[in-house]
Structure 1
């Protein structure tokens, strides 16, 4: 069993308990009553998706975050394009309450970052105010990807389709996904190799908005990703451990925008 398999098994167990407590019909009704999802600007300048992240399977505890909404407010003040909120509890110490806190604190789009494997979770995401959801190609079969991508769109949300290799990128292209992520983390051993991004970015559909995931430790990594074609970077650990989240988001954004501008002039 891979790390991903183990995480998904735990997600399904926790989801079964939530389904017992709140039936799907009730969640669907709550989703209908929620404020409409905010549109994510797919044509904007280079930007940062800033993540509320307490811990990770690879690094353990990262930061004590008593009020995710306050942290999200700092991210937004620094110019974040969206806030990513981990809601998986066993490995990442996240929760839907974290999503509620962030949604109440900011007006920019919010991504529910979780291992989405059942329809229930999509209505649940919308009920808690999510504007974006994560679809991990490695965690789903092709039929599920098409079904869930369509469901997210039907609910007004944008799906970030996460890939790790050329085969998964081809599947994302078949979905006609407008927002595609390339995660440079190996899901088998959790190692990160940022050099994986550039060759995969060359294979991505030209029309998609491309997100670089994992491996950002500072502005140099942002510059590398931006130069290789990233439109956005998703950053968590470097922000929650850096000490000045607002300034870090602003610095990463500025670095990426300058690099993309230089690349455009060169071409």
Structure 2
């Protein structure tokens, strides 16, 4: 059983409990549920830098990244740095995140927020909307085509944008459908955890132009972004690079400044 299978098995158990504790009606009555979402796809299309910066305390591959920061400070720092959007990890067991992180980030900033989660059920989309997300992530590696269709269409029906993540051409081919806004290529091989932006370059020509192309994982230099922009990528998800510093907002601001100079 690989790490992804373990996470998904735990997610199923977690959802059974969550649904007992917080009914759908409660999520739908939340103050943020009626909030109009902000488009990350539009932000990326019009941005010169296109950075989606992450709030991530730890990960299965790197264990602790940064446990000591306040999510509101990180969010404000990112927004002040001119970042296009923020990805907030809400998985507790493996990444040390929570839905509260999303809520606090939403209270601090106006920029688009992505709920980074292992989504397998419509309930999680309602949670995302109720906690202030604008965008949700679907991972092709853990979903069948029909599930991607069902979940993405449901997300759109409640005003959320959809970023779909693929790791290879097979996942990409099964996933292309009109209910997606952005297609993300994860540069990390899920079996070996090795990272290479070659996979983003390889798949770039196979992603239809209607979708905003996003490259994810292993992007730590401005050169890597300049390189990927030539392949039509508009979005760049940067996780650990900023979070492993004492001041992610400042690190992001310096990164953006350098990128704008090139």
TM-score normalised by length of structure 2 = 0.92
Call closer, same or farther: CA 1:239–1:64 in 2, change over 3 Å: same
Tell me which moved more, 83-92 or 222-231: 222-231
What's the counterpart of residue 140 of structure 2? 137
Structure 1: runs of 5+ lacking an equivalent: 260-267
Of 162, 173, 189, 1:170 maps to 173
Query: Which whole-Å CA distance do the structure 2 matches of 1:256 and 1:150 have between them?
Result: 35
Whether contact under 8 Å (1:163, 1:169) holds in the other structure is yes
Within a 5 Å distance, the mapping from 1:90-109 to structure 2 comes to: 90-109=93-112
How many residues of Structure 1 are paired with residues of Structure 2 in the alignment?
259
Of 185, 188, 191, 2:188 maps to 185
Whether contact under 8 Å (1:34, 1:129) holds in the other structure is no
Call closer, same or farther: CA 1:95–1:44 in 2, change over 3 Å: same
What's the counterpart of residue 83 of structure 2? 80
Whether contact under 8 Å (2:88, 2:116) holds in the other structure is yes
Call closer, same or farther: CA 1:227–1:256 in 2, change over 3 Å: farther
TM-score normalised by length of structure 1 = 0.90
Name the SS of the counterpart of 1:222 in structure 2: helix
Query: What is the root-mean-square deviation of aligned Cα atoms in Å?
Result: 1.9
What's the counterpart of residue 44 of structure 1? 46
Call closer, same or farther: CA 1:129–1:258 in 2, change over 3 Å: same
Query: Which whole-Å CA distance do the structure 1 matches of 2:66 and 2:56 have between them?
Result: 8
Within a 5 Å distance, the mapping from 1:1-267 to structure 2 comes to: 1-30=1-30, 33-40=33-40, 41=42, 43-45=45-47, 46-175=49-178, 177-253=180-256
Query: Which whole-Å CA distance do the structure 1 matches of 2:248 and 2:9 have between them?
Result: 33
Whether contact under 8 Å (1:226, 1:256) holds in the other structure is no
Whether contact under 8 Å (1:103, 1:110) holds in the other structure is yes
The Cα shift of 1:92 comes to 0.4
Name the SS of the counterpart of 1:169 in structure 2: helix
The Cα shift of 1:222 comes to 2.3
The Cα shift of 1:246 comes to 2.8
Query: Which whole-Å CA distance do the structure 2 matches of 1:213 and 1:197 have between them?
Result: 8
